[in-house]
Structure 1
Amino acid sequence: MPARLVDRHPEVPADQLVAQMVPPPMFDEVSFSSYIPDPNEPSQAAAVREAEDFAGEVARITEAAKKKTLFGRKKQVSGAGLYLDGGFGVGKTHLLASVFHSAPAPKSFGTFGEVTNLVGALGFAATVERLSGNSVLCIDEFELDDPGDTMLVSRLLTELSAAGVSIAATSNTLPGQLGEGRFAAQDFLREIKKLGSIFEAVRVDGPDYRHRDLPPAPEPSATDALRERAAATPDATLDEFGALLAHLATLHPSKYRELIAGVSAVFLENVAPVTDQAVALRVVVLADRLYDAGTPVTVSGAKLDQIFAADMLEGGYRKKYLRAISRLLALSRFEVPTS
C-alpha cells in the first residue's frame, strides 16, 4: 500500500529554513555557459551577459567590503541589483541559480514566498541579521500581488542592500500581454523605490521551454490504473486530491518542502478544478516545491491544465496559477521511477 502525504506532519526548525535557502536540485549544476539562448530571441543572450556582469559586480563588492578604512572600520559598500523580467519557462531561474553559484559564500536563494516565510519564522530583525553577511540574496518569482508582503520584502531588501548585500530577482509576466513585462518591472521598482537606483531591469523573452513542441496536457489515468502504478512505484505517495487539499490547510507553506522530502513520485486521485482562492494558492506552493524537487506527478480525474477553475485564471493571481500549471504539466511528463 503506498504511503500518503496526508499522514506526514513535518516540523521545520527556523535554522533549517535558512540552511535550505539554496537553488532547487535541478539547478545544482547550472552555469552561465550551460544556458542555451534561443537564437530567435536575442534578449536571452543579452540576459546571460547582463547576469554574468552582475555576478562579477557581486564579487567586486564583496572584496571591497572586506577592506578597511584609515580608521580600521570596514568600508561601507551598497549592494548591486538585478531584476530578470520575463514570461514562463524562459530560463530566468537558470540564470538566477548561475548568479548564486558564482557568488562567494555566504549567500541565499529562495522564492519570494520562502523569503516572506523566513521573516515570519525568525522575525524581521533576526532575518536582517542572518542575511546581512551575504554576498547576494537571490529571490525567484518576485510577486506583486500582495501589497503587504511586497512592502515587507521591499523594506528587507532596502536594509540588506545598505549592508552591502546584492539582490537578484526574477518575476513572471503573462504570455501574450504586450507591455506587461515593462509594467511589472516598473511596479517592482516603484515598490522598492529606495533600491530603484541600483536595480537594472533585464527583459528575457521567449516561449516556455517546458512545452516547446510538446503535446497538450496528458489524459488523466483511470483510478484503478493509478492505484496499481502507485503501488508499484518505490517511495511514491497516493492521495485523494480533496483530502490532500484539506491537509495542506493544516501546514504552514514553509513545511511543504519537507512534506515531499524523499518522495519519488506523487499520485493524486480524483483531481478536480479548485474554486477557492486560499486553497488554490496552497496548490501553487506545493507545485513549486514539487517542481523544485523534480517529483513526477500523475493524476486521475481532471487534466492538470484544468486544476484551477476557469474564472480563477481571470483574477489577480492568474500569473501564479499559470506558472503552477506550467510546472505541473512538466512534472506530468517526468519519468516515474520503477522498482
Structure 2
Amino acid sequence: MVARLSDKNPVIPGDALIGEMVPPPMFDEVSFDSYIPDPNEPSQAAAVAAARDFVARASKVRGGKRGFFRKSAPPQGIGLYLDGGFGVGKTHLLASIYHSMPEPKAFATFGEVTNLVGALGYADALERLSGHSVLCIDEFELDDPGDTMVVSRLLSELSARGVSIVATSNTLPGQLGEGRFAAADFLREIQKLAGIFESIRVDGPDYRHRDLPPAPEPSSDAALLEQAENTQNATLDSFDELTAHLATLHPSKYKSLVDGVSLVCVSDVHPAADQAVALRLVALIDRLYDADIPVVTSGVKLDELFTPEMVAGGYRKKYLRATSRLLALSRFAETAA
C-alpha cells in the first residue's frame, strides 16, 4: 500500500528548530564561483560583488573589538537585501554568503523565522541567535501585522548585538506589504526594517523557465497510482485529503512531513478553494522545492492551481513563485520518469 502524507503528524522539539536553520540540500555545494552571471544582465555580476563584499565586512563585524571599556556597545551588524524576480539566483547567492561566514550562523525562510519565535518564545530565540555571525532570511514575507512587528524587533535587536543580516525577496524593503490586506498597518514597522538593509537589485529571466515547455499535461489516475506503487518512498494523496490535513498542522511541521519522501503524487488536483488553502499549499511547495522532491499529479494543470483572482491579489508574487517552483518539480518528475 502506498504511504500518504495525510497519515503523518510529525512532532518536532522546539530546540531542534535552530539546528535545522541551514540551506536546503540543493544549495549544499553552491559558492560565489559557481554562480554564473548572465552576460546580458550586469546586475547579476554586481550582486555577486556586493555579496562578497558583505561577507568581508560582516566577518569583521563579528570579529571586531568592542573597545577598551567593558560597557562599550558591541559593533553593529550590517545588512544586505537582494531584490529581484523569480529564479535569478538570489537563493544561490544567499546560500553562498552563508557558507562563507564563520560559525555559528543560520539560514531560514521568513516563515521559519516566525515559526522559531513561536516555538521557542521571543526571548529564547533572540538569545540563541544573538551569538551568530549572520542570519540569512530567504523570501522575506510580511503577511501578518503581528509577524511584521515581531521580526522587525528581532532583527533590530540582533543587529544591535552584532549579528549581520542578509535577506532575499521580490519587493524592495520600503515596499514590503504593499498591495496586501491592512498594508497601512505595516508602514511604521516596514520603515524600521528598511533602514537595516543595503538594497541590491538582481535582474534576469527565471532560470527555471529558460528553454522549458509550459506546464506538463496531468497524469491519469491509473498512471499516477502505478507510478506511486513502483517508486520506493513515494506518497499518494487526493488533493482534498492533503489540503484538509495541511490545515491540521502548523506550517513548521511541513518540512518534517516530507522528510524521506522520494516522490509526491497527488490525484484530482483542482484550483485552491480559498486563500487559506492556497497559502498552505505555498508553504508545502516551498518545503518540497527545498528538498528537491518531484511532484506528479492528476486533475487540472499545475499552472491552474491558483485562480486568476488570487494571482491578481495581494499575494501575487507568492503564488507566482510557488507556481514556478511547482512546475520545476513536475518537470523534474518527468525527467526522472
Please tell me the TM-score bracket, short chain as reference. Answer: over 0.9
- Contact preservation (8 Å) 1:233, 1:338: no
- CA-CA distance at 1:148 after TM superposition: 2.4
Please state if 1:251 is matched with 2:249.
yes
Aligned counterpart in structure 2 of residue 150 of structure 1, from 148, 151, 154: 148
Report what 1:177 is aligned to: none
Please state if 1:14 is matched with 2:14.
yes
Consecutive unaligned residues in structure 1, runs of 5 or more:
174-180
- CA-CA distance at 1:313 after TM superposition: 0.8
Cα offsets for 1:85-143 (capped at 9, x unmatched): 00011000000001100011111100000000111111111111110001000000001
Report what 1:112 is aligned to: 110
- CA-CA distance at 1:147 after TM superposition: 2.7
How far apart, in 2, do the equivalents of 1:127 and 1:199 lie?
Answer: 21
Aligned counterpart in structure 1 of residue 311 of structure 2, from 310, 313, 316: 313
How far apart, in 2, do the equivalents of 1:185 and 1:84 lie?
Answer: 13
How far apart, in 1, do the equivalents of 2:307 and 2:271 lie?
Answer: 5
Number of residue pairs aligned between Structure 1 and Structure 2 = 330
- CA-CA distance at 1:62 after TM superposition: 1.1
Cα offsets for 1:4-41 (capped at 9, x unmatched): 10111101111111110100000001001100111111
Look up the SS of the partner of 2:205 in the other structure: coil
Within a 5 Å distance, the mapping from 1:18-57 to structure 2 comes to 18-57=18-57
Look up the SS of the partner of 1:333 in the other structure: helix
Cα offsets for 1:310-332 (capped at 9, x unmatched): 21111111111111100000000
Report what 2:197 is aligned to: 199
Amino acid of the residue matched to residue 37 of structure 2?
P
1:41 to 1:252, Cα distance in 2 relative to 1, 3 A: same
- CA-CA distance at 1:74 after TM superposition: 7.4
Look up the SS of the partner of 1:233 in the other structure: coil
1:102 to 1:189, Cα distance in 2 relative to 1, 3 A: farther
How far apart, in 1, do the equivalents of 2:73 and 2:147 lie?
Answer: 31
1:51 to 1:307, Cα distance in 2 relative to 1, 3 A: same
- Contact preservation (8 Å) 2:173, 2:194: no
Report what 2:137 is aligned to: 139
Look up the SS of the partner of 2:76 in the other structure: coil
- Contact preservation (8 Å) 2:295, 2:333: no
Report what 2:175 is aligned to: 184
Within a 5 Å distance, the mapping from 1:1-339 to structure 2 comes to 1-64=1-64, 67=65, 69-72=67-70, 76-173=74-171, 184=175, 191-194=189-192, 196-335=194-333
How far apart, in 1, do the equivalents of 2:48 and 2:68 lie?
Answer: 38
Look up the SS of the partner of 2:253 in the other structure: helix
- Contact preservation (8 Å) 1:11, 1:255: yes
How far apart, in 2, do the equivalents of 1:45 and 1:171 lie?
Answer: 18
- Contact preservation (8 Å) 2:138, 2:168: yes
Report what 2:182 is aligned to: none
Amino acid of the residue matched to residue 139 of structure 1?
I
Look up the SS of the partner of 2:224 in the other structure: helix
1:259 to 1:267, Cα distance in 2 relative to 1, 3 A: same
Question: Once structures 1 and 2 are overlaid, which stretch shifts more, 212-221 or 198-207?
Answer: 198-207
What TM-score comes out, normalization by structure 2 length? Answer: 0.93
Amino acid of the residue matched to residue 20 of structure 1?
E
Look up the SS of the partner of 1:334 in the other structure: helix
1:282 to 1:182, Cα distance in 2 relative to 1, 3 A: closer
Q: Identity, % of aligned pairs?
A: 67
Consecutive unaligned residues in structure 2, runs of 5 or more:
179-185
Cα offsets for 1:155-190 (capped at 9, x unmatched): 1100000000000000025xxxxxxx5863797996
What TM-score comes out, normalization by structure 1 length? Answer: 0.92
Amino acid of the residue matched to residue 35 of structure 2?
Y
- Contact preservation (8 Å) 2:238, 2:267: yes
- Contact preservation (8 Å) 2:5, 2:237: yes
- Contact preservation (8 Å) 1:62, 1:135: yes
Amino acid of the residue matched to residue 122 of structure 1?
L
1:47 to 1:186, Cα distance in 2 relative to 1, 3 A: farther
Amino acid of the residue matched to residue 113 of structure 1?
G
1:155 to 1:75, Cα distance in 2 relative to 1, 3 A: closer
How far apart, in 1, do the equivalents of 2:57 and 2:177 lie?
Answer: 23
Look up the SS of the partner of 1:322 in the other structure: helix
Cα offsets for 1:219-276 (capped at 9, x unmatched): 0001101100110001100111100000001100000000000000100000000021
How far apart, in 2, do the equivalents of 1:245 and 1:186 lie?
Answer: 26
How far apart, in 1, do the equivalents of 2:231 and 2:78 lie?
Answer: 47
How far apart, in 1, do the equivalents of 2:173 and 2:122 lie?
Answer: 30
1:195 to 1:306, Cα distance in 2 relative to 1, 3 A: closer
- CA-CA distance at 1:58 after TM superposition: 1.3
1:186 to 1:122, Cα distance in 2 relative to 1, 3 A: closer
Amino acid of the residue matched to residue 281 of structure 1?
L
